[in-house]
Amino acid sequence: MFLRRLCQSVFNAPFPTWTALAFALLLMISALPAKAVSLLRDPDIEYSLQQVAKPILNVAGLGNSIKILVVNDSSLNAFVLDNKHIFIHAGLLMRMDNADMLRAVIAHEAAHIANGHLARRHQNIGNARTVAGLGVALSALAAAATGNSELAAGVAAGVTSSASRVFLSHTRAEEASADKSAIQYLVRSGTDTQGMVQVFDLFSGQELLRPERQDPYTRTHPLTRDRLRNAKAAATAYAGKAKDDTSADYWFHRAKGKLTAFMRSPKWTKRTLKESPSEDIRLMREAVMHHRQSNSSKAIATLNRAIAKRPNDPYFYELRGQFQIESRQVGAAVSSYKACVDRARNNALCQGGYGRALLAAGQTKSALRALEKARNLDFRDGRILRDLASAYAKNGNAGMASVASAERYALQGRLKDAGIQAKRAAGLLPEGSSGWRRAQDIILAAKRAEKKKR
C-alpha cells in the first residue's frame, strides 16, 4: 500500500539482534526530534528504483546488497548511513527529470559506500555522540532500518541539526573521490554523465544562501566549483557514448509518476497527465487522481485498463487492492492482493497488504500466515506488527499478540507502553520460548529507559 509512514519505526533486524537494538532504543528515548523522519513504503516505487539502480550497483561491485528507500521529506537530499541502504528524499526524486539524474545520485552515494567513507565515520562515532547525534527518528533509520545497533548508539544521543550535519557531512576529499568513482560507474553502465551536471544544476546558487535556508544535500555534500567543473568535463568527454535505456526511463517515470500522483494535488496530476511517457503510467496516475477524489469506481475502472496492458505486473494489482480495501470492497481486495503475491511472493509489502485484506475479510488463519511471512521478509513496516498483533489475538494467541504490540510500541520509542505489553506477554508464553525471549529484551529496554529518566 502506498506511502506507509513508519515514523521512528523502521527496524530491519532478526529477532536474535533485538537485545543490542534495545540498547539503541534507550539512547533514542533521551530526546525527541523536532521533525520526525519517516519512510514512504510502496512496493511499486521501491521496485522501480531498484530497476533504475541495478546497473550502477553492479558496476560498483555492490550487486543486490543495496536497497533504495524513500524518505518522507520534501527537501532535496540523499544520504547513506551504512553499507546496505541508500536513502533518497521524496522532494529530490520529484524534482528530477530523468533516469540519468537518479543514477547520478545513486552512483555518488554508492561510491561513498564502495570507497569506505562510512567505515571511517563509524570508527569515530564517539565524536557524533559528543555533538548530540541525530535524535530518535534518524537513529532509527541508522540502526533499525539497517540492523546496525552500534551506529544507533552513536547517533541517538541528541537532536540538533548541527549534529546531523557533523555525522552526515562528507569532506571535500570524500566528495571528490565519490564524484570520480560515480563518473566511472556512469560510464561503465552506459549512463549519460550529463545527468550529474543536471543534478548539480538543481543546487546551483545554494551556497549563497544562509545555511538554514539551504537544502540538506548542499549542507552535507559541499558543492565546489571543482566538482561542477569535473562533472561538465566528463559530460563533454563522454558525450554520445551513453546507451539508450528505455527500461530505466520507464521505471524512473513510473516511480516519480506514482509519487507525485499521491503527494501533489489531483488538479496538478490532471494537468500533467499528458506528459506521462507511456499509456499504462498515465492510466495509473489518473487512477490515483480519481482515488484521491473519492471516486473509487472510476479509479478502479481506470486502473483495470492499466492492468490490461500489463497483466503480469504485480504492483498494479497491489494498487487496486489498496483502492478496494479503502473503499470497503474487502472481498475484491483479497483477490487483488492474491494476484499481487502470486506474481511477487517474496515482496514483504505485498504480503503485508494481502494479510491485512485477509484479516479484514475474517480469514484469520490465512492472514496470520501472510503477516508472519511479511514480517520475516522485512521488519521495516510498523503496520505489519499492528496487523500481526490483531491476527494473533483473533487466532487465540494472546501472548504473541502482546509480543507484536510490544515490538510495535518499542519501535515507536514508546518504551513504557512496550514494557507493559512485554510483561503481559512474558506471563502468557512458555519460559524460554522465542516469543518469551523477545518480550524479555523489551522489558530490559523499558527498565533501562525508566532508570535513565530518573
Instruction: Give the span between the Cα atoms of 60 and 57, in whole angstroms.
Output: 5
Q: DSSP state, 64?
A: G
Cell of 340: 499481487
pLDDT recorded at residue 217:
63
In sequence order, what are the residues at sequence separation of 6 or more whose Cβ sits closer than 8 angstroms to the Cβ of residue 444? 19, 22
Structure confidence at residue 130 (pLDDT): 32
The pLDDT score that the predictor gives to residue 290 is 98
Q: Looking at residue 454, what is its pLDDT?
A: 62
pLDDT given for residue 137 in this prediction:
40
158-162, 249-253, 265-269, 289-293, range with the lowest pLDDT: 158-162
C-alpha cell at 253: 517515470
Q: Quick one: pLDDT at residue 352?
A: 96
Asked if the model's pLDDT at residue 143 lies above 50, the reply is no
**Quick one: cell of 337?**
492482493
CATH topology of domain 247-453: 1.25.40
Tell me the per-residue pLDDT of 183-239, one tens digit each, with 9 for 90 and over: 999 999 999 999 999 998 887 765 545 555 556 666 566 666 777 888 899 889 998
**Per-range mean pLDDT, top range of 29-43, 78-92, 288-302, 372-386:** 288-302
Q: Does the CA dihedral 448-15-33-126 come out positive or negative?
A: positive
Per-residue pLDDT, 379 = 72
What is the DSSP-derived secondary structure letter of residue 5?
A: E
* Model confidence band, residue 34 (pLDDT cutoffs 50, 70, 90): very low
Domain with CATH 3.30.2010.10 in the chain: 4-237
Least Cα distance to 47 among 24, 19, 69 occurs for: 69
How far apart (Å, rounded) are the C-alpha atoms in residues 428 and 426? 5
| pLDDT at 74 exceeding the cut of 70 | yes
In which band, very low, low, confident or very high, does the pLDDT at 446 lie, cut at 50, 70 and 90?
A: confident
Q: What's the grid cell of residue 298?
A: 472510476
Q: Which cell numbers in the block locate residue 28?
A: 533514542
Please report which confidence band the pLDDT of residue 416 belongs to, taking 50, 70 and 90 as the band edges.
confident
User: At CA 44, angle to CA 40 and CA 46, rounded to 5?
Assistant: 55
Tell which wins on pLDDT, 154 or 244: 244
The CATH code that applies to domain 4-237 is 3.30.2010.10
Read off the pTM.
0.82
Question: What's the grid cell of residue 257?
Answer: 509518476
Q: What pLDDT score was predicted for residue 214?
A: 57
Cα 431 to Cα 42: distance, rounded to the nearest angstrom: 38
- Give me the chain's average pLDDT, please: 80
| Amino acid identity at 213 | R
Bridge-based pairing state of the strands 67-71 and 78-79: unpaired
pLDDT the model gives residue 420: 95
Q: Which residue in 318, 348, 354 sits closest to 334, CA to CA?
A: 354
Q: Is pLDDT above 70 for 18?
A: no
User: Which residues of the chain form CATH 1.25.40.10?
Assistant: 247-453
Query: How is the beta sheet containing 85-89 ordered, strand by strand?
Result: 4-5, 39-41, 67-71, 85-89, 78-79
Task: Give per-residue burial for 367-392: e unless 16+ CB within 10 Å, then b.
Answer: bbbbbbbbbebbbbbbbbbebbbbbb
C-alpha 232/C-alpha 229 separation (Å) is 5
Q: Are 177 and 203 in contact (CB under 8 A)?
A: no
> Cell numbers of 454, please?
530518573
Which among 108, 101, 132 is positioned nearest to 57, based on CA atoms? 108
List, for residues 281-331, the tens digit of each pLDDT value.
Answer: 999 999 999 999 999 999 999 999 999 999 999 999 999 999 999 999 999
φ and ψ of 97, to 5 deg: -105, -20
Average pLDDT (111-129) is: 62
Average pLDDT over residues 105-124: 77
Q: How far apart are CA 248 and CA 364, in angstroms?
A: 40
Handedness of CA 347, 4, 106, 199 (dihedral sign): positive
96 vs 53, 216, 250, 282, 412, CA distance in Å? Answer: 15, 16, 14, 18, 32
Q: What is the pLDDT of residue 403?
A: 94
pLDDT band at 368 (very low <50, low <70, confident <90, very high): very high
Q: Is the pLDDT of residue 365 over 60?
A: yes
Can you list the pairs that 62-66 forms with residues at least 24 positions away whose Cβ atoms lie under 8 Å?
Answer: 62/110, 62/113, 62/114, 66/110, 66/113
Q: Residue 29 pLDDT more than 50? A: no
Alpha-carbon torsion 49, 50, 53, 57, what sign?
positive
